[in-house]
Amino acid sequence: MEKKELEFIGKFDEHTPFQVLKVSVPEELKILRTKSEDLNLSDELVLKHFINRLKVTLIEEQGVGIAAPQVGINRNLFLFVRIDKEGEPVEVAINPRIVNHPKETICFEGDGCLSIPGVSGNSIRYPWIDVEYTNEQGVRIKERLEGYSRQDNFVGVIFQHEFDHLQGVLFTDKLCPEDPVSLAD
């Protein structure tokens, strides 16, 4: 990481949440629209501090995922809630990749984003994805994530949504053609 990123992450203790960037602020939108770079895993203390602050932010914002660009760091890292596992633990994906997916897509109902508060829409997603990422313990994970329904399991959609943030893509870029964006009640 660059010096300014390290200073930004370390500015507050690990129990202090980050401010989530919003698309309504032009300078913040520019960061959200920038493609992120891979992380070097050599500085474990900074990485642990960063992840802890992201976890606090995710809890405070009551989200199911948060990506590093959403707090101003254009690095390939995000947190996602494993709603497919008992206790719904938060997992960390460092330098993630989507390595396979089906040709067909589904229209996921009610996608939303911490960076676009009060707005939801139906987004085009894959019903499953094969992914690879490094977790916070430094273990390389390879697995298939499924799920595309809020009534059951949508962890695959959460992963796709957060992965898109690393590419500078927002869910509003992937709206189903017949479904306009709506303001949340």
Q: Which two tokens stand for residue 104?
A: 């067909």
Q: pLDDT, tens digit, for every residue of 59-71?
A: 999 999 999 999 9
143 in active site: no
Q: How confident is the model at residue 183 (pLDDT cuts 50, 70, 90)?
A: low
| Candidates 14, 60, 86, 162; catalytic one | 162
Q: pLDDT, tens digit, for every residue of 127-176?
A: 999 999 999 999 999 999 998 788 888 999 999 999 999 999 999 999 99
The model's pTM: 0.94
CA diameter of the chain? 47
| pLDDT average, residue stretch 97-109 | 96
**Annotated domain spans of the chain:** 3-183
For domain 3-183, give the CATH superfamily: Peptide deformylase (3.90.45.10)
Q: How far apart are CA 150 and CA 143, in angstroms?
A: 21
Over its C-alpha atoms, the chain yields an Rg (Å, rounded) of 16
Return the beta strands (E) in 4-125 as ranges.
65-67, 77-81, 90-100, 106-113, 116-125
